Amino acid sequence: MSIQYKHIQCTINGRPVDKMVDVRASLTDLLRNDFRLHSVKKGCEVGECGACNVIIDGRCYNSCIYLAVWADGKNIRTLESLLGPNGELSDIQQAFVDEAAVQCGFCTPGFIMTAVEILESGKEYTDDQLRKALSGHLCRCTGYENILRAVKKAMYRRLGKPMPEA
């Protein structure tokens, strides 16, 4: 059988990219294999676990069920884009560190990217709304407890409000 390739142009973590991609490849494959962006994790490859989550034009997607060819013309951000030029952590990364929201770390990049989408909305969410917004991600280590705390903490800090006592 002949493999079909298609030419795409997109932006990945702020860098313009020109690439021939296998039309069968997922965006996960493209990011991991061609760009060595290893924060994009594979946990199920069918859109169930959220470990491969990236931001495309401002919205979160499971990159495992998003074809690489669809990335044409899109602005894609992975966890690697959050770090400052001197290795400084972003507020949400620091919150995950400070709140012990990281254990095995495999679901962490996906969770952080959804948190980025939440924080960039500039809105204040209740706990229930945050739980729902984050529910596309599975984690087996944390019981989600400290992840909620980390996202909440970063949200209130950005909103310039004190975090309400639990």
Residue 22, H or E segment: strand 15-22
State yes or no: residue 166 binds other proteins (CB under 8 A): yes
Which residues have a Cβ under 8 Å from the Cβ of 38 and sit 6 or more positions away? 32
- The least distance separating other proteins from the CB of residue 159, rounded to whole angstroms, comes to 21
* Residue 148 touches other proteins, criterion: CB under 8 A: yes
Binding mask 107-136 toward other proteins (x if CB under 8 A, else -) reads xxx--x------------------xx-xx-
Reading phi first (left if > 0) and then psi (alpha if -120 to 50, else beta), residue 119 is in alpha
Q: Which stretch in 13-21, 55-63, 66-74, 104-112 sits in contact with other proteins by CB under 8 A?
A: 104-112
At 71, is the secondary structure helix, strand, or coil?
helix
Report the residue from 62, 96, 119, 154 that binds other proteins according to the rule CB under 8 A: 96
Residue 86 beta carbon to other proteins: minimum distance, rounded to whole angstroms: 13
**One-letter amino acid for residue 106 of the chain:** F
Closer CB to other proteins, 8 or 113, in the complex: 113
Block residue for tokens 């959220």? 50
Choosing from 21, 146, 152, 154, the residue that interacts with other proteins (CB under 8 A) is 146
Give the one residue of 79, 116, 118, 119 binding other proteins; rule: CB under 8 A: 79
**Neighbour-count burial for 143-159, b at 16+ CB within 10 Å, e otherwise:** ebebbbbbbbbbbebee
Residue 161 and residue 125 in contact, taking contact as beta carbons nearer than 8 Å: no
Paired tokens of 115? 């948190």
Contact residues toward other proteins (CB under 8 A) are 1, 24, 32-33, 37-39, 41-46, 48-49, 51, 78-80, 82-83, 89, 93, 96-98, 100-109, 112, 131-132, 134-135, 137-148, 166
